[in-house]
């Protein structure tokens, strides 16, 4: 007989560098608000919703809006996971930036002509995105494509089976304290701290 425990909680992962590790491109005040405020908030809210869902499963909660609970849970779980990808997708200056190598570098050249052309199109996609979204590079095993995609809000179930290799947060909380309304400057600065090693390792695990 297996013991019934209910659904497990989420935990805020550690930042892979110091809170000021991305300066000057993303300053420590932004990382502080973004990580200790927003990201932690998604984890805490997801856990509150899991408590509620466990109450529903155990029939302790009698009156509930299952669509509302699950929609909110989806938003917050994805908020946690997308931010974890985003943090790990960057590295302090000197360790990040430059160009992608390995299979990732080869595939970008094969499918986009050159790194420069890929970067231009990804930047255009990022700059055209509505205010609450993400620009991502996702790998589709079905045809081996590296797809540049835009994701609105945190509702990304449509990316099922297309793991994210590269991700850029474009919510105002990701840049406003430092770049104000100049989001394109934030996008431009971000290329200096992309962790290509991590992105390439991720892709190579998927191939």
Q: Rounded to an integer, what distance in angstroms lies between the CA atom of residue 54 and that of residue 38?
A: 24
Question: Number of residues in contact with Fe ion, rule: CB under 5 A?
Answer: 3
Among 42, 108, 169, 203, interactor with Fe ion by CB under 5 A: 169
Q: What Å distances lie between residue 151 and 26, 29, 136, 148, CA to CA?
A: 22, 25, 7, 10
154 versus 202: smaller Cβ distance to Fe ion: 154
Pair 96, 196: CB distance under 8 Å: yes
By beta-carbon proximity to Fe ion, the closer residue of 83 and 202 is 83
Q: Which stretch binds Fe ion (CB under 5 A): 117-125, 137-145, 150-158, 166-174?
A: 166-174
| Nearest distance, CB of residue 60 and Fe ion, angstroms | 33
Cα distance between residue 203 and residue 207, in whole Å: 6
Of the candidate residues 134, 171, 179, 190, the single one contacting Fe ion (CB under 5 A): 171
Residues 6 or more apart in contact with residue 85 via CB below 8 angstroms: 164, 167
Contact region with Fe ion (CB under 5 A), list: 1-9, 46-54, 127-135, 171-179:
171-179
Residues in contact with Fe ion by CB under 5 A are 169, 171, 174
């Amino acid at each position: 007989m297996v013991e019934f425990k209910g659904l497990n909680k989420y935990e805020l992962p550690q930042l892979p560098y110091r809170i000021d590790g991305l300066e000057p491109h993303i300053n420590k005040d932004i990382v502080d608000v973004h990580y200790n405020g927003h990201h932690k908030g998604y984890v805490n809210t997801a856990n509150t919703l899991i408590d509620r869902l466990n109450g529903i499963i155990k029939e302790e909660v009698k009156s509930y809006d299952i669509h509302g609970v699950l929609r909110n849970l989806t938003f917050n779980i994805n908020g946690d996971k997308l931010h974890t990808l985003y943090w790990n997708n960057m590295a302090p200056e000197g360790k990040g930036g430059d160009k992608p190598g390995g299979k990732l570098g080869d595939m970008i050249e094969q499918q986009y002509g050159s790194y420069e052309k890929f970067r231009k199109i990804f930047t255009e996609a990022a700059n055209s995105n509505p205010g609450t979204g993400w620009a991502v590079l996702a790998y589709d095993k079905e045809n081996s494509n590296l797809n540049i995609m835009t994701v609105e809000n945190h509702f990304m179930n449509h990316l099922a089976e297309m793991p994210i290799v590269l991700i850029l947060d474009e919510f105002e909380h990701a840049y406003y304290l430092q770049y104000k309304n100049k989001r394109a400057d934030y996008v431009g600065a971000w290329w200096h701290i992309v962790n290509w090693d991590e992105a390439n390792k991720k892709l190579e695990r998927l191939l």
